[in-house]
Structure 1
Amino acid sequence: MQHKTQVVQQATVTALLQHVAQLLEQDNPEQALQLLDRAAAGDSYLDNARGVCLMRMGRIKDALFVFRRLAMRGEYAVDLRASPELITNFATALLLDHNLGGCRGLLFELEQERGVRNHPAANRLNACIERYRAKLGFWQRLWFSAREDYVHEVAIDFPPGDLTMPPQSPEPAVVHQQG
């Protein structure tokens, strides 16, 4: 019975996230957030979507709070169960908050520590950072390399954040009884 309940809940979460994705594609994060706020809290997929909506609304500090709660264990340790999408969403929010060092630290964690290479969102963030760095003069680039904690206003050229969908569980087999 519990498996059946989980499958139903998973289908409901997936349907809700698909609706949220449509609203975000229509550039309507406010309505998407309202829809999510009517759903029960505590689901990591829905909470990730809340963070994405908040980023797209420009509420970066609120998004950081959501992503930090989902992705971190303690003050400095990234939760090993956090998905690559959650980590890149957190990194995006940090970059939008002008925290380049934090953003690059999470990207390093993802690429070097976890071995996740060529993740699309990480590639987009790295490309934005590289374009920013390329526009700097010599002394600014030197400062950039030495002081990541300095406030850097790196522009992103894509809608911030990615939704994640729960994995689809296989449909239970139908057993026909003869008799």
Structure 2
Amino acid sequence: MVNFSSFAPFTSTTVIADPASFPTASTPGAEIRWTVPCIVADVMARVKSLLETGHATEALRRLNAQRYACPAFDNARAVCMMRLGHPDAAVRVLQQLTQVTANGEFRSHVPVGYKVNLATALALTGEVDEAAAILAELRAADEHSLRASELQSALDRWQGGLSMWEQFQRNLGAHVQHAVILHFAPGELP
């Protein structure tokens, strides 16, 4: 029998909180292997429905109310954060989820969707080169995704829209303040 008493209910008075306060799959003591799949499926179906109808705040509230930790919830939180205009918070959650190492490698068995979401969040924070590197890694590993292709198109449009001065600055390694425009809602749930 599974003992769920070790899970403390997650409570939050704010919708956007410090990602470190979320019960994540990497939280010490979080027993993600004990997460009941039917609970995860039910919550994720509701969250996906809320996101599809533009209710990211309510979706994030539902996720924050869960007392179970699992990677799917962490990814969904990051998607909500991106859609609420907080891609920097999404980057922190997704980097923790994917456990990006100092040399930029993902832990093994990270779903493609999580990697694409990280690339999307990075692009939205202006870290275009990091986003492009993730997409290049996905192509090299022959991991395909429609959303990855859409993001690559957005990055290509971004690159093509830079002025000569911005291109010059970028070639020198300077950070260019030129927003990446997406033609899709940021983040996706696998």
TM-score above 0.5: yes
Percent of pairs with identical residues: 27
| Aligned partners of 1:89 and 1:162 also within 8 Å | yes
Q: What's the TM-score, normalizing by structure 2?
A: 0.74
For 1:58 and 1:147, locate their aligned partners in 2 and report how far apart those are by CA, in whole Å.
29
Q: Which residue, 122, 139, 147 being the options, matches 1:121?
A: 147
The one-letter amino acid paired with 2:179 is E
Deviation at 1:80, TM superposition (A): 2.0
**How much is the aligned-residue C-alpha RMSD, in angstroms?**
2.3
Q: How many residues align?
A: 158
Larger mean CA deviation between 81-90 and 127-136 belongs to: 127-136
The corresponding residue for 1:110 is: 138
How far did residue 142 of structure 1 move? 5.6
TM-score, length basis structure 1: 0.79
Distance 1:73 1:98, change over 3 A: closer
Structure 1 stretch 101-110 or stretch 87-96: which is displaced more? 101-110
One-letter amino acid of the structure 1 residue matched with residue 105 of structure 2: A
Matched with 1:80 is 108
Structure 1 residues 82 and 22, CA, compared in 2 at 3 Å: closer, same or farther? same
Distance 1:149 1:82, change over 3 A: farther
Give the gaps of 5 or more residues in structure 1: 165-179
Contact 1:29 1:53 in 2 (8 A): yes
- Paired residue type of 1:64: V
Work out the CA distance in 1 between the residues paired with 2:152 and 2:172: 17
Higher helix fraction (1 or 2):
1
**Which structure has the larger Rg over C-alpha atoms?**
1
Match in the other structure for 2:175: 150
Alpha carbons of structure 1 residues 70 and 8: separation in structure 2 relative to 1, 3 Å: closer
Mind listing any 5+ residue stretches in structure 2 that lack a counterpart? 3-32
